Structure 1
Amino acid sequence: MELNTQERPRQVEITDAAHIADVVDSLGNATHSLTVTLDNAPTAFPVRLSVVDPERRQLTLTLTDAQSLNAAEIGEQALTLRAESLSDTLHFKNLAPLDVCRDGDCLTIECRLPRALYTTSKRRSLRIPFIQGMHTRAYAAVLPTQPPVAGELRNLSAGGCLMEVPFADSPFFKVGDTLPTVGFEFPNGEKFIASGTVRHVGPAGRTHNAAVGIAFHNLSPERQNRLVHYVNEAEHEAAYRSGHGGRLARPSPLFQTPLRSRRQAQRQRDLTESTPLVRTLREVARQLHITLLALKNDQPISSDAMLGCADTLLRLLTQRRQQCLYALACLGSEPQWIQHSINVAAKLGDLMLAEPEYASRARAAVAAALLHDMGKVLLLDESLHSLEGALDDAQRERLREHVVLLLDRLAPLEGIDTSLRHNIIGCINERLDGSGYPHGYRAESLSAIARMAAVVDVLDAMTRPRGDRPAKTAIEAYRYLYNRPDRFDKHWVTRYVQRHGFYPIGSLVRFSHGYLAWVMELDESGQPCRVRVVRNTSRSELAMNHILSRVDFGQLGQVNKLVRPEAYRLAPF
C-alpha cells in the first residue's frame, strides 16, 4: 500500500510506565502489524505478542520465520519492537531479552517491558480502497423520518469514508449536509456507527451509482481506536488480495463471509437483464442522474450530454421503434421520475417524428423533455421526502414550485432552444382551460408543441401507480383525456392513440384462455402480434416466460382486455 508522505511525521516520546504497559497490552488485539529488529540491523522479522505480564513488567514475543537466527546470540542483543498501524507507528526500543527458546522455525523471547515508547503519527487522510471482493455494506441516515440510504463502502480512512449508493438515492445527499448516522457492516457481522458530513457527491465511474465522500466527526476515543483497527484490517485485506503485502499480508477475519451467503451473492450477480435495448436506455437514465447531482450541488450541467441522450432515443425510435417502446417499459429498477421522464421524452419524440412539421425540432424537444420533471427531485427535503408515496395538500402545493425552480437553474444552459424549454418544461403542466400551473395559461397562449407534450405527459403519468391512486390502463387514460377537450387538445390525443393503439407496447393483456402476456409488438392495425406470456390465471402458481408470435396465439385465445400489472405483481422484464 502506498503512504502519502507529503507531511513529515512527528515523533513523540512517552516514558510513563503505566501508559506503556497499557499500550503494549493493547497490541494483542491485532490492530497493529508487529516486527522486531536486532540492535540496529535492517532486517525486520514478523512477530506475535504472546503474553503480557504487567505485574512482572514482562512480555513474551514469538518470532516466526526465524531459521537464520541464533538463540544464544539474540540473548546478548537489544531488540526494537515496531508496531505499525494505519494511523501511527510505535517503536519500543532497547528491549532486553531474559530468555530465548527455539521451537522449530520459531523463537520465543521473554523480555522486560520497555522504558520508553516512541510514536509517530501518520497522515489522517490516508485511505484504503476496498478492492474487488471486499464487499462491505454501508448506510447513512439522511432524513430523520426516513429509513437510512443503503450502499457499499468503497474506501476507509481514520477520518472518513467513501460510500457508493444507487443513483435513485443520490438526491438526498448534498455537500455540507450533516448525516446524523453513518454506519457500515463487514461480511463477518462487525459494525461501526458514527456521524458525519457530506464532503463531495459525484458519479461513481461508469456505474449507475453515486460516490458520496463523508467525513466522520465527534468520534469518542473508543470509536477512534475501533476505526483504526478496521482501517488497519482493511489494509491487510487489500494487500493480501492484491498480492503486494509480502510476508506481512494476511486475510482479515472482517471479510470472511459464510459460504451460503457467498453462493447467494453469486446467484444475484448472475442475474442479468436480457431485454434488448434496456442497457442503452439505462445509460440515458445514468446521464439524468448525473445531471441531477450537478443541479443539486449547484454545478453546471452539459447540454451536449442531454442532446446526446436525445440523439440516442431518436436513433432507437427510427431504427428499432417497437423494440425501443418495449424497452421503455423495462426500466423498473429506476425511480419513477426517471422512468416517467424517459418515457415522456421518447414518446414525444416519436410523435414529433411522425409529424413532418415538427420533426426537425424533435432533438431539442426530447432533450428538454428529459429534464422536465427534475425540479421535483430538487425539492426533496425533510418536509417532502418522497415523490412516490401519498402526499398531503401542502406537499402537493409545494410540488407546483418545481417548474419555476428548474427553469431558474437551467437559465445559464446553452445549446437547448429556449423556446422549447418554455413550451415543454414551462408549459407541460398547463391546461387549455387555464387550470394548470405554474402560470395558468389558457389555450391561446399554448403552442402546438406545448399541447402535444401535455398529452404525452398526462397519459404516461396516469398509467403509473401513485401514492393516492392506482394506475389506469391505457384505454382508461385515453378515455379520460378524450372526454375533457376543454383541458387537453383532442387532436393530439387522437394522434397519440393512432401511434400506440388500444393495446400499447409494454402493456399487460389478458387472453380468453386465461393467459397474461406483455405486448412486445403490434401489427399495422394496432393489434398485438408478438407477446411475452408470463402467467396462466387458472394455474397462477406456475411461472412462465414464453415469447410467442401470432402464429402461436391459437393456444392463448383472443385478446380480451388490458389489465393492471400491479394486481398480479408482474413486471415486463
Structure 2
Amino acid sequence: MVEDGYDRVESPMEIEALLEALMAPGGASLQLEDAGGEPLPVLVMDHRPGEELQLDISAIREVAGSLQRGRPFRLLGRSQGKMVRTSVLSMQACQDDEGRLVCRSDYPRSLEVLQRRETFRAGLRLGMEVGAILRTIEGGGRAIQGDLKDLSLEGCRLELPLAAGGLLGEVSVPLEIELCFPDGTRYAVRQASLRHRHADMERRVIQAGFRFEQGGAEQERKLWYFVRAIEQEAARHVEGDDASRLPSPLFQASVSASPTIGRRNMCRYATPMAKRLSRVAGYLDAQLLELQQGGEVSSVQLSRHADLLLSLRDEDREGLLFATRCLHEETWLVRHCLSVAVQLLDLLQDASPPRELCKAIAASAMLHDLGKALLPNELWEQASPSDEERQRMREHVAALGPRLRHCHWLAGAVRASVVERINERLDGSGYPQGLGDEQLGELERAAAVVDVGDAMRRDRADRPAWSVQEVQRHLVAHPEAFDARWVRRYCRRFGRYPVGSLVRFSSGTLGWVQGLDDSGAIARVQLTETVGPPTDELGKVLQGDVSQRLGEVVEEVVVGV
C-alpha cells in the first residue's frame, strides 16, 4: 500500500494490461509531478514493455521544453474500473512527426491503482469548503445553492437547504451542478440526475446524492483533477499542523473569486453581523458532524474560528450579542454553544483578560456541549427523562474529552474550567465529579451562571423557554448552587431586558432590543410586527430615548430560539 490508499502493481503482465487501457483515445492524462496542477491531454501511442512509452503531446506543446529538460510527470487514467497512475516518469526525447509532437519516455517500473469501491469518492473534511449551484436546465432555470460533501467521477453528494425540496421533487427535470472552488474555479456538469435524498429536520438540510451522465473524456479529466485535489487537501487536513504536503491551488482563497457560494449563503439573516457569525456556526455544525462520524476536534479550525469570534466581538459587542439570537436555522447545540461563548466573554470583560486567555475561553465555550451529539438523540427528546436517562445525559462531558487531544494550544486550565466543570455546582449537586464550593475557581463559577442562563431561555423537550426575569430570579434564589457575586454581575451586565430580547411597549409596538445605555435602559430597538425569530424582514431601528416614542416596556415576549 502506498500513500492516499493506492495499491502498487509491480507485475509486468499486470502493468502491460493496465497500460493497454490508457492507449484508448482520451484514456490518459499527463500531470506535472512538481506542480500538482490540472491533468493535461496526452495520447499514449505505443509501448515497449520494460523499455519505453511513446506519447503524443501535440496538444500541450507549451510544456515540451520543460519535459525535455527533465521535469518529472505521471500518467493518469482509468482501467478496468480503477483509477491508475504511473510511477514518476521523465521524457527521453521528442521529435516532430508529420505535424505531431511525438516523445519517448521511460517505462513505468510500477503502477499505482486506486480501487476503494468501484470508483473512488473523495470526501471533503472539516475546513474544506466547496460551494455548489444546483439548477434546472429547463423550466426557467431555477437555482439553489448548497455545499459539496463528496465527489467522484460518477456523481456527488450535496448538502442543500430544506427549500430545495420542491426542486428535488421534480425528479424528471434534468439538472446541472456547478462546482465553485475557493480559488474562483468553477465547473458545471451539464447532466445530473437525483439518486437519493434525506431530510435532516434538526439541521434543516437535505442530503442529496446525484449521478453524472456520461460527459466524455474532457468531463472525466476535469472531475478526476477535482477528485485528486480534494483528496490531496483532505490528506493535509488529517495531518493538521504537521502537514508536509503542498496545499491544493483550488483551495487557496482568491480575493478576485466570486462571492461565497454555499448553503448558508441562501439563508436570510436579520443583520450583517448575523451573516458573518454564521461562518462560525457553520464550523461548529461541521465539527459536530465530524465528531459523530468518529473524528476529533480540529485544532487548526478551532483556533481559526475562535480568532474570528474575537474579531467580531471587538468590532461590535452588542451587534454580536444580538446576532446569537438570529441563527434559528442552526441546531440547538450550535446556537447554545455560540451564545455561551459570546456571553461569557462579555461577562468577563470588566476583568480585562489577556487576548490569548479570551481566545481559550471562547474556544472552550464553543465546544463545551458538543459531547451531547455523541449520545443518542432520543435522550434529549424526552419530556420526562428517568433517573437512569438523566445519568446517561451526564456522560456527554466524558464523551467529548478524548476528542480534544490534538488541541495542544488550548490552555488545560481553561479547558478544565469551561468544558469539564461548567456543570458543577457549589453544593456538589453538579456533574461529572460532584465538586463543591472550595474546589471551584472563578472561571467555572462564571461559566455555570452563563450556561444555565442561556439554556433556560431556550425551548427544551421537558419545558418551554423561560423569560429573562424568570431566569434571573431562579439564579438569585439558588445561592447554594450558583455563586451570588457572579449572578449579580450577570444581572447587572445584561440588564432586565438584555440585547436579543423581544419586548412589547405600552403603545403595543414590538421590538428587538439591540442596545442598552450605561444604566441598562434600552437605547436601541428594531421594530417588528411578528412574534418569532428575527429575520431580514425586521422594521426600522430607533435609537436614543426609546420609551419617549414607544412608551414603557410592559413585557418580554419569550421566543425560545
TM-score (norm: length of structure 1): 0.54
Counterpart residue number, 1:27: none
Amino acid at match of 1:310: A
Q: 1:557 is matched with which residue: 547, 551, 559?
A: 551
How many residues of Structure 1 are paired with residues of Structure 2 in the alignment?
360
Counterpart residue number, 1:520: 514
Deviation by residue 1:318-338 (Cα, 9 ceiling, x = unmatched): 331111111111111111100
Amino acid at match of 2:487: V
Structure 1, unaligned stretches of length 5 or more? 11-85, 88-122, 137-149, 169-182, 192-203, 207-215, 218-229, 243-267, 538-542
Q: Is the CA contact 1:135–1:153 (under 8 Å) kept in the aligned structure 2?
A: no
Counterpart residue number, 2:498: 504
Alignment CA distance shift 1:481-1:274 (3 Å) = closer
For the residue of structure 2 that corresponds to 1:354, the secondary structure is helix
Q: After TM superposition, list the pairs within 5 Å mapping 1:55-454 onto structure 2.
A: 124-125=118-119, 132-134=133-135, 161-165=155-159, 188-190=170-172, 231=211, 233=213, 235=215, 272-273=268-269, 275-356=271-352, 361-380=357-376, 384-385=377-378, 387=380, 390=383, 392-393=385-386, 394-454=388-448
Deviation by residue 1:248-307 (Cα, 9 ceiling, x = unmatched): xxxxxxxxxxxxxxxxxxxx9877435021122111112223333443344453334323
Distance 1:298 1:126 in 2: 21
Distance 2:450 2:359 in 1: 16
Amino acid at match of 2:392: R
Structure 2, unaligned stretches of length 5 or more? 1-16, 23-79, 82-116, 123-129, 138-145, 174-179, 183-194, 197-209, 223-263, 532-536
Offset of 1:188 from its aligned partner?
3.9
TM-score (norm: length of structure 2): 0.55
Alignment CA distance shift 1:353-1:493 (3 Å) = same
Deviation by residue 1:10-69 (Cα, 9 ceiling, x = unmatched): 9xxxxxxxxxxxxxxxxxxxxxxxxxxxxxxxxxxxxxxxxxxxxxxxxxxxxxxxxxxx
Offset of 1:505 from its aligned partner?
0.3
Amino acid at match of 2:554: N
Percent identity, aligned pairs only, is: 34
For the residue of structure 2 that corresponds to 1:565, the secondary structure is coil
Distance 1:153 1:190 in 2: 23
Distance 1:135 1:126 in 2: 27
Offset of 1:536 from its aligned partner?
7.9
Which 4+ residue blocks in structure 1 deviate beyond 6 angstroms? 126-131, 150-154, 268-271, 357-360
Deviation by residue 1:454-513 (Cα, 9 ceiling, x = unmatched): 001000000011111010111110110111000000101111111111110001111001
Q: Is the CA contact 2:424–2:431 (under 8 Å) kept in the aligned structure 1?
A: yes
Offset of 1:565 from its aligned partner?
2.4
Counterpart residue number, 1:457: 451
Distance 2:433 2:539 in 1: 48
Distance 2:426 2:455 in 1: 18
Alignment CA distance shift 1:231-1:479 (3 Å) = closer
Alignment CA distance shift 1:359-1:134 (3 Å) = closer
Offset of 1:518 from its aligned partner?
0.6
Aligned: 1:468 with 2:462: yes
Alignment CA distance shift 1:271-1:459 (3 Å) = closer
Alignment CA distance shift 1:346-1:234 (3 Å) = farther
Q: Is the CA contact 1:130–1:154 (under 8 Å) kept in the aligned structure 2?
A: no
Offset of 1:391 from its aligned partner?
6.1
Alignment CA distance shift 1:233-1:307 (3 Å) = closer
Distance 1:126 1:363 in 2: 39
For the residue of structure 2 that corresponds to 1:531, the secondary structure is strand
Amino acid at match of 2:351: E
Deviation by residue 1:399-448 (Cα, 9 ceiling, x = unmatched): 21010111122234311011111111110011111111111111111111
Offset of 1:365 from its aligned partner?
1.4
For the residue of structure 2 that corresponds to 1:548, the secondary structure is strand
Deviation by residue 1:328-368 (Cα, 9 ceiling, x = unmatched): 11111111100110111111111222214677622211111
Distance 1:367 1:190 in 2: 46
Offset of 1:124 from its aligned partner?
4.8
Q: 1:487 is matched with which residue: 477, 481, 488?
A: 481
Distance 1:124 1:360 in 2: 48
Amino acid at match of 1:490: A
For the residue of structure 1 that corresponds to 2:435, the secondary structure is coil
Amino acid at match of 1:189: V
Distance 1:298 1:534 in 2: 43
Distance 1:420 1:544 in 2: 38
Alignment CA distance shift 1:353-1:298 (3 Å) = same
Alignment CA distance shift 1:166-1:365 (3 Å) = farther
Counterpart residue number, 2:27: none
Offset of 1:233 from its aligned partner?
4.3
